[in-house]
Structure 1
């Protein structure tokens, strides 16, 4: 006779290895690595302001619309204005009028203050004259034999007593300090003399950033000392920083934006009667480096790292350029640049390609046409802070690209130093990045200036653009001047979510 046994069914959990949902949920991707690195690095650099920048970087950024002068220009401008967009040129004009009005008010205030000072001086002269007249008519107290009580002696005695007490107190404190040092030395306590601040050499070191020295895992993190080893502030080369005298907005350039706080999107470009596209959409901060380059008719201009082509197209839209050389290191990037030019330049093959527009494929560090360019735009490869937080592909924070990321400042300094040699004496360039890193910005400018002076004897001067960036204060949020030495920077800011974009204008000396 068969016995029926109780059968217990145990559920078996099938393992799926690396593809299990709980493994995938906790797995770090490239964007996560970038965000953690920025939290660690930028949090220490920008302090409490990093929280707002972080929120802006993680939000879709704003665009501006650059009208194509080789298409239906008037119709495109009307379409953009009907949608509520504003021409940047008109905003700059308003800022200039406001500045002139403020100057007039300040002159009026100075004149009013001068009148008040004159009235005060006249009043003082009248009072002295009245005192002399009274003294001439009435005898003084000394002549009448009256002696004034010596009240000041009592106060002097009190002051002397207080001074003696303070000196005695300070003396006792000094004695206590010496005794504590003696006890420390008797017990062989090691003192870190490198952290002592000698007053005769200033106290500026108290405010300098001290980088961290711990490593949090080389596969995902890099020490702060790695970031800051290129960042030096002491100069051992001639350095002149002077304000830029004139800024002229190109007459034929039409760029539209929405007012601060308006996050509306532009309509996509349409095809014009001439066969080209109506307008080009680009990050609003990207227009500033080519604008401050101030290209003029008759100049030979180089865009050292030209792809994807927005900045090159803007310089062509000024209608000032006689010849523009667009260089990039990869053929694929150059092909993308060519497609942009074909879409926006009328009669591209007959009027532009090979004549006024020349393409060059080379590493910008190896270009050798020294002293042959009037202006150069140096928009170097960088960590592309906004891109690496939003896109997994082509992300510099991929674990296998750590060495490449650490060498970025060296690559940037090499490109900038070589481009300074390509300039004619008296020529200017604008160096730019889309990074918040002080190493890739001011640090690289410092490295390049030192390199060209040491190796080639070339000196240059920095153009201070802060007076002219004030004209764009209704559009962008700029970094505080005290945080930068060689350039200016647009900060990510939610109501005006452009950038980041750092730019520095440098002129080679004759």
Structure 2
């Protein structure tokens, strides 16, 4: 009888002379690695011990919700999702409202709760100092060796002892030259300046102020300069009182801890797709915008289109302007609308749904919109940790990445100008960065007040997010000043998603 023996496979190192050896490739960083290193350094300092759990969630497949298409087989789609165990978010919100009504103490606490100033300021200041020190050490690696000092520490004060040494050196030049001539030292004639070519070159010396090959180098610490917290402009923060979940909006999710996947959308009798799958946190910015019938609404950075589609699914909008900067992104948006809107060309395109290609910073219909959704470009934290393509942490895109807060603040400031007095907007990002979130809101509010005299009121959405505590994991209020944020959390792996609601006063 034959016996089967266990076979042990051992990995061997290739001895080929190729340039790409396994040990080299093993330690070669890709774009996702660079993003993770940056987040470990930045978010680890900001969020402390909580970053470990956020990190694990970001590196895991995120959770989706299913938005039912009202222009398809609505009842059949809802029944299918409920048969699979999904829950309508509307019913969860109604249960939470009933609990709040039965507990008057909770309402009193939420109504009188004051927003505490966040404690991120000191962490970011310390992180900025550490990053600057690291950059200086990288440029001047000999700074720690004996006899070397960093440029910031150089002293330009001349002591009496230094002056005496210089005087002794000057007096020693003439004897040295005489001694060289006596020893018949041959001078290199090629280094003598010929008077016929002039001596101007001797006076055109420029001191070195940059390192060769680093003309495009940008300090990582430049990213944090956009984060300011001192308010030198009128600032009002008040609770948002009105919130009504749209009657015809049906969004389904699985309970916290249930990571089941939804079925793929199917084609309905009307020719459109049955439901739209999107990150669950992405439904919150358009939901809290609270669009109403008769309003003129702008989606300033609309592609790929999920948030625009949600606003249309409320059946409230008379006109929606979808803007984006690139034609390719607008084409993706058009395809989404064609797949989900019945009789797209006859009833929607060019009438109730208008497409615009422009940089949102250059839109100039000032004071003409009732509501604006400002979902700006950002570092897309989850994407850059899991996708190599179109990764903002690519080395050649470092300047673009560090200037993201400046771009975001420019878009938000211009959108505040586009609002009618009394109109509202929701600013949102899918980033955990305080710089891109509260920092950008602060910059934009300061800019529009200083340059245009526009004042605004921040709407505190704490009461509304409390209704969604069974679905999402929200950041602690003390960590935010101007908005709310869904943080990645393995049992409810949505987000990240920061959002801030702002109403224009004047």
Same fold (TM over 0.5): yes
Is the Cα–Cα contact under 8 Å of residues 214 and 223 in structure 1 kept in the other structure? no
- Per-residue deviation at 1:259? 0.1
The 5 Å alignment of 1:103-182 reads: 103=104
CA distance in 1, matches of 2:448, 2:18: 57
Output one character per residue of 1:216-266: Cα deviation in whole Å (capped at 9) or x when no partner.
6699x9867433211111011100001101110000000000000000000
- Per-residue deviation at 1:210? 2.1
The RMSD of aligned alpha carbons is 2.1
Output one character per residue of 1:418-464: Cα deviation in whole Å (capped at 9) or x when no partner.
00000001000000000000000000000000001111111111000
Is the Cα–Cα contact under 8 Å of residues 215 and 222 in structure 1 kept in the other structure? no
* Residue number in structure 2 paired with 1:157: none
2:191 pairs with 1:272:
no
> In structure 1, which of residues 323, 326, 336 is the aligned counterpart of residue 322 of structure 2?
326
Output one character per residue of 1:15-74: Cα deviation in whole Å (capped at 9) or x when no partner.
211x32221111000000000000000000000000000000000000000000000000
- Per-residue deviation at 1:209? 4.4
The 5 Å alignment of 1:99-498 reads: 99-103=100-104, 209-211=125-127, 212=130, 213-215=132-134, 225-498=221-494
Is the Cα–Cα contact under 8 Å of residues 307 and 337 in structure 1 kept in the other structure? yes
Is the Cα–Cα contact under 8 Å of residues 45 and 123 in structure 2 kept in the other structure? no
Instruction: Give 3-state SS (helix, strand or coil) of 1:307's partner.
Output: coil
* Residue number in structure 1 paired with 2:37: 36
Instruction: Give 3-state SS (helix, strand or coil) of 2:29's partner.
Output: coil
Output one character per residue of 1:146-175: Cα deviation in whole Å (capped at 9) or x when no partner.
xxxxxxxxxxxxxxxxxxxxxxxxxxxxxx
Instruction: Give 3-state SS (helix, strand or coil) of 2:278's partner.
Output: strand
* Residue number in structure 1 paired with 2:11: none
* Residue number in structure 1 paired with 2:171: none
CA distance in 2, matches of 1:361, 1:238: 34
The TM-score, its normalising length taken from structure 1, stands at 0.76
Cα 1:366–1:59 shift into 2, 3 Å:
same
Is the Cα–Cα contact under 8 Å of residues 41 and 224 in structure 1 kept in the other structure? no
Output one character per residue of 1:292-338: Cα deviation in whole Å (capped at 9) or x when no partner.
00000000000000000000000000000000000000000000000
Is the Cα–Cα contact under 8 Å of residues 396 and 405 in structure 1 kept in the other structure? yes
CA distance in 1, matches of 2:252, 2:220: 40
The TM-score, its normalising length taken from structure 2, stands at 0.77
The 5 Å alignment of 1:79-90 reads: 79-90=80-91
2:67 pairs with 1:66:
yes
* Residue number in structure 1 paired with 2:25: 24
Is the Cα–Cα contact under 8 Å of residues 215 and 223 in structure 1 kept in the other structure? no
Cα 1:205–1:278 shift into 2, 3 Å:
closer
Cα 1:438–1:26 shift into 2, 3 Å:
same
Is the Cα–Cα contact under 8 Å of residues 243 and 290 in structure 2 kept in the other structure? yes
Between the two proteins, the alignment pairs up a number of residues equal to 403
CA distance in 1, matches of 2:477, 2:503: 20
* Residue number in structure 2 paired with 1:171: none
CA distance in 2, matches of 1:92, 1:466: 14
CA distance in 1, matches of 2:221, 2:34: 18
CA distance in 1, matches of 2:416, 2:120: 32
Is the Cα–Cα contact under 8 Å of residues 409 and 440 in structure 1 kept in the other structure? yes
Output one character per residue of 1:373-420: Cα deviation in whole Å (capped at 9) or x when no partner.
000000000000000000000000000000000000000000000000
Cα 1:236–1:360 shift into 2, 3 Å:
same
Instruction: Give 3-state SS (helix, strand or coil) of 1:339's partner.
Output: helix
Is the Cα–Cα contact under 8 Å of residues 63 and 498 in structure 1 kept in the other structure? yes
Instruction: Give 3-state SS (helix, strand or coil) of 2:491's partner.
Output: coil
Instruction: Give 3-state SS (helix, strand or coil) of 2:354's partner.
Output: strand
Is the Cα–Cα contact under 8 Å of residues 265 and 275 in structure 2 kept in the other structure? yes
- Per-residue deviation at 1:14? 3.2
Instruction: Give 3-state SS (helix, strand or coil) of 2:248's partner.
Output: coil
* Residue number in structure 2 paired with 1:509: 505
Cα 1:206–1:450 shift into 2, 3 Å:
closer
* Residue number in structure 1 paired with 2:52: 51
CA distance in 1, matches of 2:37, 2:454: 40
Cα 1:350–1:29 shift into 2, 3 Å:
same
CA distance in 2, matches of 1:91, 1:32: 39
Cα 1:38–1:204 shift into 2, 3 Å:
closer
Cα 1:423–1:205 shift into 2, 3 Å:
closer
2:75 pairs with 1:95:
no
2:11 pairs with 1:15:
no
Cα 1:106–1:413 shift into 2, 3 Å:
closer
